Structure 1
Amino acid sequence: MRAMVYRGPYKIRVEEKERPRIEHPNDAIVRVTRAAICGSDLHLYHGLMPDTRIGHTFGHEFVGVVDEVGPTVQNLQVGDRVMVPFNIFCGSCWYCARGLYSNCHNVNPNATAVGGIYGYSHTCGGYDGGQAEFVRVPLADVGPATIPDWMDDDDAVLLTDALATGYFGAQLGEIAGGDVVVVFGAGPVGLYAALSSWLMGAGRVIVVDHLDYRLEKARTFAHAETLNFTEVGDVVLHLKRDTGFLGADVAIDAVGAEADGNFLQHVTTTKFKLQGGSPVALNWAIDSVRKGGTISVMGAYGPLFSAVKFGDAMNKGLTLRMNQCPVKRQWPRLFEHVRQGYIRPADIVTHRVPLEHIAEAYHMFSAKLDDCIKTLVLPSAA
């Protein structure tokens, strides 16, 4: 098959790769019809994620058609159109029994915190991802779901991570009626978090970013107020003034570790294989939210040190809630929001590229060219 293959920082290619096979009786092989490039893929692309091995195929957002099933698979049949959450999870451990699918205890021998993730280095289990013509889906009776007949593939692929994660970020904020919500980051997840905040009762939503085209999307797609942080001297002071000097009730960090990587990230990653991240947005959130407020974090951070202003958070009595999104837990409600027309996931898609051009697509997304917000990848097998 043809697949995107990692060859080192900033070096990806489309190569012939062995077609995945059934390795366990509960596996399925899915022919990919849509994949997507996620902002967190840029951490891999830039060489900032530990143990990203040569030959690895990225892609944790994908949908497709079941091509083959193992002998014990009961919930899927060949020919089913399926959406696959980015989490790989067993469905039966202590965490899965409580809906914490992103923290599954049985699918990632390389970490005690996060479960398995498709296409996200060997720190997340080493599973090849969906930026390919075919992908192996383990535990096929647990993770995937059939796509409703009324849902388009372009919408479905965005529910496998970006939309579910943005919605989860708003959920973690425990937004009450009339709350002022500040969202840091106007990438796809931030846009979805801003839109989802209205569904949870927000009275005001402000999106902070530095790219004008993304802020314009926040205004038109998420109906939010916007702030370009490069145009004000002090972001925190500006937000305080704009909220009656109290601060926002809820702040959502949809940025995480900067995908471009600061100097420390590049040095520690290349020399020591560490990736903690520079939590500028998180510290802005801590400083700009009101005392007793809530901070939601679902931006991607590495497993090690980050210079977070924890003392300030403690002294302000803040509630910090965070996790990787347990995607499948969000689907029932999101399906209804999409079906009713409250959310149109594919409205943020700006580019569609064939798999053969994925290297150019990564460069475009990384360099913020052509007003790129979200790119879908169309494998030639589709």
Structure 2
Amino acid sequence: MGKAERNRKRRQRQSGHGHPWTEVPPGAVRGGTQAAVSLAADIFEETQMPCRTAFLDDPLFGGPKAAVTAIQPDGSVLTDGEIINPGPVVLFEPIKVMMVKDTRTGTVHEARTEGVISGGFHRVPRGIMASLPAEGWNLYRTATGLMLCDTFEGIWAEGTLELDPAWVSEATSQGWVTVFFGPRLGVRIPPHTSAQSYTLQQRIAEFRQGRSEGLCAAASVKWHPVAPQETRSWVLLPAGTFGQPLPVAYMPQLNFTRLGGPEAFGFVRTPERLADIPIAVGVTAEVTPTDVDLVQPHLDDSLNFVGGYRAPGGATDLRYAAWHAAAHTHGQILVITGHQDFPAGHKIRHDTPEDVDKRVLQVMGASYAATVSVSDTPRRAPLA
């Protein structure tokens, strides 16, 4: 092989052309495509997952830890026999995973695990059991279990379980909980296996395997013994609601808090006459067949996101399809933002109409509103 041929093949390898890693395996999707975007949205929005609470003296983490008082010349350690106060732990193990392969290096990682690591968690490989703080992250006790939120108060994980009073007491006393996140933590029961037959040894083996494969992330997260008071839920209401012609989107005020609050974008306290609502400044709505995204159009795509909603039924959601059509027909939507849950859906199934009306007035009176223009050409790819 001549020098020119060798250089040509070297350039092909560096550019990825002709490399076996550039071929998409059966059942996989290529990154950056519509299918990949849709798959990522489905997986990242599935926040409900199995979880388990424990203490750091659990055999899963190596058993009780004794206080080290001295290290002898031969490397052995001396302890005073007193067990170190075991800290509270929670393990979140997602059901669905998204394995991503770098076509140039062949490196494989799990998307959500990498997401929490980039957000402040750290990887926990074999041989190292550290629990560094993830600043800005919060773990909340809820009516049904636990909820993990990131620095923007976005929900990453929710678990339904009955909490041990001793665990809650220790978490409240310390103010921090060690949170593990990953697809192989020994929490979920494997297929064709019962809870009784899934032994502790098997759980430990899976936990160790996950750490060896880089699929385990952990951090110390601030503990909150009560559920957050801020709503995190969007509610879409059809055109004509409240006696005005535009389709309505009620969104969490948390989305605006980190950006200076809704008033920074021209929102005003929701008036009694919605015809007097001003037009928002510095923010537009990108309304696709499956999503509503509020963005700051003057910023780069990596920085412009304010908040978003995805139709539960995707492109087959008929109610959202009607809302989407009305938004594009009018070219505007009415956005109302507040701290409280808007009374709608399953939350009001046991309420009387009078109670619902009273709560709506209460929420509206504490909210902000503005008319937001709908972008004709969304810069974000719609999800199929």
TM category, shorter: under 0.3
Greater gyration radius = 2
Q: Which has the higher contact order (CA 8 A, sep 6+)?
A: 1
TM-score, normalised by the number of residues in structure 2: 0.27
TM-score, normalised by the number of residues in structure 1: 0.27
